[in-house]
Amino acid sequence: MIWEWIRFAAAALFIVSGLFIEICSVFGVYRLKYILNRMHAAAMGDTLAIALVLIGLIIVRGFTFDSLKFVMIIALLWLASPVSSHLITLLETTIDPDSTEYRRERH
């Protein structure tokens, strides 16, 4: 009985922290003005928040075949999300050379 409560608390901690990070990421995307800062906030928040929520779901479901699927989803997202974010920001700086003006004006 006590192990069920410990498992519930650990899963709730992971899921709530993942949701908190995702909400902070959404506010970061909304509040930041520079497009590359927005992309950074979105990429970092997505990668960590989804991983934390899926770890919480692994704890809830127990270590079954579903957990293996969740681990594979985490691995795919940890590989694909940073690469796609990097390619999108590279495309943004290549297509719109004025997007780097913000950095030049600040320094």
On the CB side of 37, how many CA atoms lie within 13 Å of its CA?
Answer: 11
* Mean pLDDT in residue range 25-47: 84
Distance (Å, rounded) from C-alpha 28 to C-alpha 42? 8
Which structural domain range is residue 53 located in?
2-106
Q: What is the DSSP-derived secondary structure letter of residue 34?
A: S
Structure tokens that stand for 7 in this block: 């498992």
Q: What is the pLDDT of residues 49-100, one digit of tens each?
A: 999 999 999 999 888 898 999 899 999 988 998 888 888 888 888 887 666 6
**For 65-70, which contacts have Cβ atoms below 8 Å and span 24 or more sequence positions?**
none
Query: How deeply is 97 buried, as exposed, middle or buried, from its count of CB atoms within 10 A (0-12, 13-18, 19+)?
Result: exposed
**Does residue 74 sit in helix, strand or coil?**
helix
Overall domain count for the chain: 1
